[in-house]
Chains A and B, each alone.
Chain A
Amino acid sequence: MTEFLAATIRIATPLVFTALGGILSERAGVFAVGLEGMMLAGAFAGVITAFLSGSMLAGIAASVLGGAAMAALAAVATTRFRAEQMVTGLAVNILAVGLTSFLLRGLLGHGEAPTIRVSPLAAMPVPGLASLPVLGPVLFSQPVLTYVALAAAVAIYVFLVRTRPGLTLRAVGENPAAAFAGGADPLRVRMLAVTCGGALAGVGGAVLSLQQVGTFTDAMTNGRGYLALAAIIVGRWMPFGTLLACLLFGAADALQLRVQGLRLPVSSYVIQMTPYVVSLAMLAGFGRTAQLPAAIGTAFARDRPSS
């Protein structure tokens, strides 16, 4: 059981980062369909940099930049060029898969897929707390990025609820005209939100490549970006709710990996379906009064007062 819980948290960590990044984007009014690509870009940038430089820290920094770069592309296209948000996100995902696999082979493997090996981040037990009976191994013997993920959830919450920039961001996602009347620049806010969201998703990717496996494989995110979207929906676009949703999905994933051993009557595929079905049910359950940011998906056209 302890092992199962520890696995849950381990599996949930990349989701948490990515979903938090998605919250920033969606709360500002931009559908975060491109999370998958941003996560992948971060995973790639992170592990490559760590491999080439030998420094994990450099790798993590690179993953931030990688995710942010992908996001910046989407951000500019959707705000400056008014490209359709959803589909641009899809484009970014397609692009990221191709780009990362291509660069992996082209830059490093001379055309072939190289094997990159980095020793994954080790678990960092918290002195004292790690020896607690259940919570010890589950919560306090995780690698460093897991602790950072939990801290990030708190930070994002504080940012959104307790700071002026966070308030402005939320206003842009609900009613950009009101935010504009209050002196904000909705386009600029959205661009920043999407890019920072991408940076977070990039760290989520780094968790995969640096913390979990220590290598990069083609399209290794494998749909986690979309799962993060579902987590945001189930978490009602709030950091702590999303954290719980990620844990839930992590548990589902941990469960489906163990289904053979546990001899459950349910197939692993059905378990894998539950996150999506649950999100859909939640959306449908609330219908038109769903909690999603009111202005999500809409473009903001600035009416200049005549001068």
Chain B
Amino acid sequence: MPPASQRVDLAAVRALAPPLLAVLLAFGVTGILIVAAGKNPLLAYWSLAHGAFGSWDRIAVGLNRATPYALTGVGIALCFRARVINIGGEGQLALGGLAATWVALHMVPAPRPIATLCALGGGVLAGAAWAGLAAGIRLKRGVHEVLATLLLNFVGLLIVSEVLQGDLGEPGSGFPQSPLLPAASWLGRLVRGTDLHVGVLIALAAVAVGHVALWRTPFGFRLRILGASAPAAAYAGISPARALMSVMLLSGGLAGLAGAIEVLGVHYRLIDGFAHGFGFNAVAIALLGGLNPLAVLPAGLFFGFLETGAVAMQRAVGVPTPLVAVIQGLTMVFVLSAMGLTAGRRRV
């Protein structure tokens, strides 16, 4: 009988198999599509990889792109663990960016780290509040959190668009965006000379904290029990309402943080539509990571690099960039099917 530590690793490896297979299957099916479009799939995938990893610059962009995915994905993974479905990440992220912008613009005299930290904090609070609103509606009025988060998602996005037309907008720019944020609030560069910003470290920290929280704290333990069996959770004295609210606030805060990072580290202003695609893709990433915070990191990287490589792939081989969305969508469907099939055998 192998020692306990080895047995646990085996289970972790076995847990990775379905997502990996799903990814491979998705690449395979997409390869067929590439052939149907008259191109060489191997060449296409090679240029995809090259575009993603070919240079330090490219890697930096990929890591930047992966950051909001990983952050939001961790929160959603924790939600799913407690059987809470939060698909409003996009709206929470957008409002986080909005809050960060507002704070940054109004804290003009503040020096470097303070301005940034306050703006990031604003983002966390805004995202958490928006998710908390959905949670409150769920708890007080019995509305399924899927519907509540989905509907509030669009409202949140529209709020951002609305605000950009008014107070926070930059008149005369011809495009809905805020004025450039003061340099004191910008996220610093991690590696001089590249676009890679400090946000990637924040994402790493969030992944680590998420992992530790889920597997090593009583809070995470309670989430796992709640997700495994509602009667057992009641028997253990766990309050489902409190767990739902905590996990929604947490994931909303993480999404808001991601939005703030995008604004402060990539765009340096609030741009209409900057949140596009993050929310739903983060759900995919959480699933791809098997609802394990640690595995959300490679999943987020996968999505991030996939998207950066796509542009190069189009330029080099002529395979259109939307192919990436095909891979993402197919991967999701396959992972979900695998999860549905193996529902009884997952590590809880």
Contact = CB atoms under 8 A, between A and B. Distances in A.
Contact of A98 (B146, B328, B339): B328
Interface SS of chain B: helix
A111 interface: yes
Interface SS of chain A: helix
A233 B147 CA distance: 10
B209 to A, nearest CB: 24
A280 B143 contact: yes
Interface string B29-52: 000011011110000000000000
Interface residues of B, number: 54
Contacts of B325: 94-95, 97-99, 101-102
A94 B137 contact: no
A270 B162 CA distance: 7
A278 B194 CA distance: 46
B71 to A, nearest CB: 19
Interface string A73-110: 11001100111101110111111111111110111001
B244 to A, nearest CB: 15
Contact of A280 (B38, B152, B281, B333): B152
B151 A99 contact: no
Interface in B176-225: none
A218 B322 contact: yes
B330 A95 contact: yes
A87 B142 contact: no
A277 B147 CA distance: 12
Interface in B299-348: 314, 318-320, 322-330, 332-333, 336-341, 343
B246 interface: no
B318 A111 contact: yes
30 contacts: A31-B146, A78-B340, A81-B340, A81-B341, A82-B343, A84-B336, A88-B333, A90-B283, A90-B284, A91-B284, A94-B280, A94-B281, A96-B329, A98-B322, A98-B327, A99-B33, A100-B322, A102-B325, A106-B38, A106-B323, A111-B314, A267-B162, A269-B159, A270-B162, A276-B158, A279-B147, A280-B137, A280-B152, A288-B141, A297-B146
Interface of B: 33-34, 36-39, 85, 87, 137, 141-144, 146-148, 150-152, 154-155, 158-159, 161-162, 165-166, 280-281, 283-284, 287, 314, 318-320, 322-330, 332-333, 336-341, 343
Interface of A: 31, 33, 73-74, 77-78, 81-84, 86-88, 90-103, 105-107, 110-111, 113, 218, 223, 226, 229-230, 233, 267, 269-270, 272-273, 276-277, 279-280, 283-285, 287-288, 290, 297
